[in-house]
Amino acid sequence: MKITIGEIARQANVSKGTVSRVINGKSTVAENTRKNVLAVMKRLGYEPDPVARELSMRTKHTLGIWVGAGENRLSPYFNRIWRALLREMQLRATQFVELPEDISHVRTRFDAVLVFNSDEVDARLGLLRDRGVPAVLIGHHPGISCVAPDDVGGGRLAGLSLLSLGHRSLLHLTVGEEAQWARDRAEGFRSALAGATLAGVKVAQVCGEASVLGGYRLMRDAWRAGHRPTGVFCATDEMAVGALGALADLGVGVPAQVSVVGFDGLVELHPGLASVGQDIPAIAHQAVSLALAAIGKDSVRKTVVPVSLIRGTTLGPAPA
């Protein structure tokens, strides 16, 4: 038979209320009885039933995670975020459940939902609002609590780093304008160069796919088209890996002739890759914090998580 709080109470000669108080440590309990109750609990191997607790406390200690259909679960970035969330939840004794595509028949067994940014994000947020479930977005979006890396600052950081190493001819590999993060990274990069363009700095931008292959093609084609940058800033590390491959195939020395800086800090992709590193544990931490804080209230808060430059071995001074 399952051991309940009532059984503990009986064996410890106290009331259920007192046992509950011992468990939660909320109200004060005499040291003697506390010890006694704890001893009985230990002896019987008691574990409070989480479901009963959820019912009376009306908090489920559960967050939902809603991954967009278009989200690339196979990307190393996604994987890192996922694992960081897992760790974070463990620390907070909170479980997390992944929601299926279609939540219309899903019963809300969670206190709040973390949403990954994607094209369908508007529809999703609407659905959640209708059901009264607080949501936190990983990414940028108006009108909702968000957590995102400092994309603008990261772009600027990359630009400034290249400039300070003497690079005067730059190339930016990125995706189209549809994604907010890409716009922000590009904007930051341009802003770093804003004053410098007058001083003879040239910068070009080409757009393609955010993948290794995409980066490879962009770099190869740009080079063939006559671009001869000494510094290349790639909107993602995967593109940067592709760019490195293309440069290798073209026989261009890195970083002797060309420096390459990526974005995300996924050093496992390519040893030595220079990159604007995201603090993924911090992002996970903030996302969960915001989600848990959002329960009950409906405040909207935006959190921007700082980034830092990973120097690596693909970033060096401009050739003379």
Q: Give contact residues for a copy of itself (rule: CB under 8 A).
A: 47-52, 54-55, 60, 62, 73-74, 76, 79, 82-83, 86-87, 89-90, 93, 95-98, 100-102, 105-109
18 near DNA, rule: CB under 7 A: yes
My answer on whether omega of the bond before 255 falls inside 30° of 0, hence cis, is: yes
6 binds, options DNA, a copy of itself, none, Cβ within 5 to 8 A by partner type: DNA
Looking at residues 53 to 92 of the shown chain, list those that interact with DNA (rule: CB under 7 A).
Answer: 53, 55-58
The yes or no reply on residue 230 touching DNA (CB under 7 A) is: no
Can you read off the two tokens belonging to residue 165?
A: 């190493």
Task: Please report, for residues 29, 36, 72, 207, 293, the alpha-carbon distance to residue 11 in angstroms, rounded to integers and kept in the order given.
Answer: 17, 10, 54, 72, 38
Output 232 or 280, the one with its CB closest to a copy of itself: 280
Contact 174, 235 (CB under 8 A): yes
Rounded-to-5 percentages of helix, strand, coil across the chain: 45, 20, 35
Contacts 24+ apart (CB under 8 A), 83-89: 84/280, 84/281, 84/283, 84/284, 85/114, 85/284, 85/287, 85/288, 87/281, 87/284, 88/281, 88/284, 88/285, 88/287, 88/288, 89/63, 89/288
Which of a copy of itself, DNA, none interacts with 28 (beta carbon under 5 to 8 A by kind)?
A: DNA
Among a copy of itself, DNA, none, what does residue 248 contact (CB within 5–8 Å per kind)?
A: none
| The two structure tokens encoding residue 175 | 């995706």
Interface of this chain with DNA, residues 39 to 58, rule: CB under 7 A: 46-49, 52-53, 55-58
Interface with DNA, residue 94, by CB under 7 A: no
Q: Which entry of DNA, a copy of itself, none binds 26, CB below 5 to 8 A by partner kind?
A: DNA
Q: How many CB atoms lie within 10 A of CB 180?
A: 14
Instruction: Give me the residues paired with residue 183 across strands.
Output: none
21 or 60, CB closer to a copy of itself? Answer: 60
Going 78 to 83 to 86 to 87, the CA torsion angle's sign is negative
- Kindly state the smallest distance separating residue 247's Cβ from a copy of itself, in Å: 20
Pick 24 or 197: Cβ nearer DNA: 24
- CA dihedral (132, 137, 140, 141) in degrees, to 10, reads -10
Binding mask 141-180 for DNA (x = CB under 7 A): ----------------------------------------
Name the residue nearer to a copy of itself (CB basis): 61 or 190. Answer: 61
User: Which chain residues interact with DNA by CB under 7 A?
Assistant: 2-6, 13-21, 23-24, 26-34, 46-49, 52-53, 55-58
